[in-house]
Structure 1
Amino acid sequence: MLRYALFTASLICSTFSAAADELLERLTLPKGYEISYFAKNVDNARQLAVSKSGVVYAGSRKAGNLYALIDNNQDGVADRKIVLAQGLNMPSGIALYNGDLYVAEVHRIIRFKNVDKQLSKPSFEVVFDELPTERHHGWKFIRFTDEGELLVPVGVPCNVCAENERFGRIFSLNLQTKKLTTIAQGVRNSVGFDINPQSGALWFSDNGRDMMGDDIPPDEINRVSVDGEHFGFPYVHGGSVLDPEYAKDMSLADMQKYVAPKLALQAHVAPLGIHFYRGKQFAKHMHNKLLVAEHGSWNRSSKVGYKVMMVTIKEGEITAYEPFISGFLDKEQTLGRPVAFAELADGSLLVSDDFANAIYRVRYNNK
């Protein structure tokens, strides 16, 4: 059944507020990199996708909106914002495939067919509606494989709870047969993954459980080697911490049957979007770096995260984890919270921020 989405259009104000300008001045990047606003006033911007014609699409979580952002004069700043849909159920995850825009709500996947051509009168259809309806960790990040299968995570509906085959997994959805296949299990809440363009392996972030103190358990960066691998939740966290409730009788040796993370991060940094840089604009050493958006802590006595980090991977192993964009946190004051990434055709990088309601553009200027 075809559904019609609510539509509004507006111009993005080209004069940024003093507070917004101050935020940009506080952000620090490696030498040669510049950051600017691609778009402002994009309420609760989350996952991003860029069409072949250059339209930038953005999902949201709390706002319930789906956006299209258009840079008509190709100056690196969006000058038109279209709200394609409102009132959706946490439409955080979006992905483009063959010109169609797929949007993940909590309970279903919807599709805007040939989306670039229907910006003036957008409509969508439901393509899959058999996902759980629980909203706790129900928002999603989605991505297509090269074979056309849609990767869809389903987070657990709790802080920590018993294992369930419907939750705590990353699934592959065949849109023709509607069949779900488990790609990874024992995954508490992944809101970011990407396929390494060199090896073809799936890497994903995972947010560790809460209420075990400031410093445990670690958040995680993981790699899938074999479909169906178990990454430990709810028994083992971060590859090293046994859960006090669900692993009471488990020995340290029992941990070995679960896949340990490739990188155990600081507790509560909340890694969300991850992205292998594929463009050619950045310095050569940045090619194939894995970028990680640390969204930042919410339940820690002193805040951590609030950065974009870059990961060096050699032969499938992480050899370095370094800051790429810092300054979203000023002592204990939150200024921004990075979420997800996308690349423009020129190789510049877009970064969404659901706290500052902004999308940044990062470019490299070796001059």
Structure 2
Amino acid sequence: MKAFTTAAAFCALLTAPALAQSNLEKLGAFKVTGTKEHTIIDQNSSAAESIREVLQGITLPEGFKIELYALVPDARHMAMAPQGTVLFVGTKKSKVWAVLDRDRDRVADEVKDFAPSLEMDVPNGVAFSKDGFLFIAERNRVMMYPAAEFFHESPDVVAVPIVPQGELIPPEEESYNHTARVIKIGPDDKLYISLGQPFNVAPPEKLDLYNEVGIGGIIRMNRDGTGREVYTYGVRNSVGHDFHPVTGELWWTDNQVDGMGDDIPPGEINRQTAQGQHFGHPWYGGGSVRTTEYAGEEVPVEVVMPAVETVAHAADLGMSFYTGNMFPEKYKNAIFSAQHGSWNRTEPVGARVMVTFIDDEGNATTEPFAEGWLDENGEYDGRPVDVIQMKDGSLLVSDDFANAIYRISYSE
């Protein structure tokens, strides 16, 4: 569905009561909420210099450099507006940030909260349609903001709940665990939203409900919230997905089962070639490693094994295909992805940006691209979350530990 699909929603909102109580109802009726101020993040604080010192120790292939782009609290998944004027950054807390580089020097000069008149609950997932609609996936709601690239200056913005509060998942299934949704718009102009299941290993009594709702999977719907269906099954907790720019196939990362040891099970990057494919959870903990809870049971589904097995517990999160022209040709259509870093490994791993090369047959190999946020003492100086491409072909990398966004560029 295209821009059109919001027309009915707008008309419905225009009929909201004139004396509506909630801020969302007021915004739907094009009324002011009384919110006057944004939260502004100082871009010249002492934290900036500390981060720049850390970046001096990041290793990259020859010709690449990494620089601080912005200070952004709790920076998670990112979406660049179609005109390239504003970067929107989700968090696992209660804010989405608008990041502006007004003088176009590739360093942000303004960071402020977006739509502060609205309450948000884990607004991790952000995505833009090509025609300028911003979608934000929260713990249990999906919101659409028309023309957010141009209306972000006001605390009050047009806001349309395409999946109202409590309808993304059953309210009784709301959890504090694995609730960072990722949302992307596919080649079919539909929304694809990941729904991590809250357990380490999903128990048998939950499987029928989860398969029906799409928890432990990726769901698909039209841009107005209609036509919801489960697209992907057998996912533990995917926090990154994107579409191959040539084939249109869905690729996604998956965080695998904890508590099985330092080196098993592997993390995953998966390739999906058709709707309805199953990727193994809860019978498999990662790759071909069976979970203890379901060991010895016959697997009742046909399982698609991962395209890439990554190092165990590195926490592969956000990913994007590279389509720009700044980087050398070998990076065209490769995946850049973030490893957030392990929390339960004897020797920590991860905290780096990876690159995955895919051949014409779909075979994939992964290697480190930017690393050094995990120091020689095993302490984190940063924990990358997401990677996206700027219009000039450079990359942005978010970091929710350092509260920063970095820019990676290339020159010969």
- Specify which of 286, 298, 304 is matched with residue 343 of structure 2: 298
Contact 1:14–1:79 under 8 Å retained in 2: no
1:12 positional shift:
3.8
Aligned pairs for 1:193-204 (under 5 A) are 193-204=241-252
Residue 89 of structure 2 is aligned to residue 95 of structure 1: no
Q: Larger % of strand: which?
A: 1
Give runs of aligned pairs for residues 28-107 of structure 1, distance below 5 A.
28-40=59-71, 42-54=72-84, 55-61=86-92, 63-85=93-115, 87-97=119-129, 98-107=131-140
Corresponding position of 2:384? 338
Larger Rg: 2
Larger relative contact order (CA 8 Å, sep ≥ 6)? 1
Q: Does the residue aligned with 1:116 lie in a helix, a strand or coil?
A: helix
Instruction: Return the alpha-carbon distance in structure 2 between the equivalents of residues 270 and 9 of structure 1.
Output: 31
Q: Which amino acid aligns with 1:334?
A: Y
Aligned 8 A contact 2:82 2:128 in 1: no
Task: Please list every run of at least 4 consecutive aligned residues from structure 1 whose deviation after the TM superposition is greater than 3 angstroms.
Answer: 4-7, 14-18, 316-319
User: How many residues are treated as equivalent by the alignment?
Assistant: 361
Spell out the pairing of 1:116-127 with structure 2 (5 A cutoff).
116-121=149-154, 122-123=156-157, 124-127=159-162
Asked if the contact 1:12/1:78 (under 8 Å) is kept, the reply is no
Is 1:267 matched up with 2:312? yes
Q: Does 1:19 align with 2:54?
A: no
Aligned partners of 2:162, 2:361: CA distance in 1, in Å? 35
Moved more, 288-297 or 9-18: 9-18
Structure 2: stretches of 5+ with no match in the other structure? 1-12, 14-22, 28-32
> CA 1:316–1:192 in 2, change beyond 3 Å: closer, same or farther?
farther
Which residues of structure 1 form unaligned runs of 5+?
Answer: none
What secondary structure does 2:55 align onto? Answer: helix
Q: Which has the higher helix share?
A: 2
Identity %: 37
- Give the 3 Å change call, closer, same or farther, for CA 211–85 of structure 1 in structure 2: farther
CA distance in 2, matches of 1:249, 1:284: 46
Partner of 1:285: 330
- Deviation for aligned residue 1:256: 8.3
* 1:313 is the counterpart of 2:354: no
Q: Deviations over 1:110-137 (max 9, x none)?
A: 1221112212223222111211241321
1:16, distance to aligned residue in structure 2 (A): 5.1
In the TM superposition, what whole-angstrom CA distance separates every residue of 1:20-58 from its partner, at most 9, and x where no partner exists? 122111111100001111101x11111111113321111
1:323 alignment partner in structure 2: 368
Q: Tell me which of 145, 152, 157 is aligned to 2:186.
A: 145
* Cα RMSD after superposing both structures: 1.9
Which residue of 2 is the match for residue 207 of structure 1? Answer: 255
* Distance of aligned partners of 1:177 and 1:299 in 2 relative to their CA distance in 1, 3 Å threshold: closer
Q: TM-score, normalised by structure 2?
A: 0.83
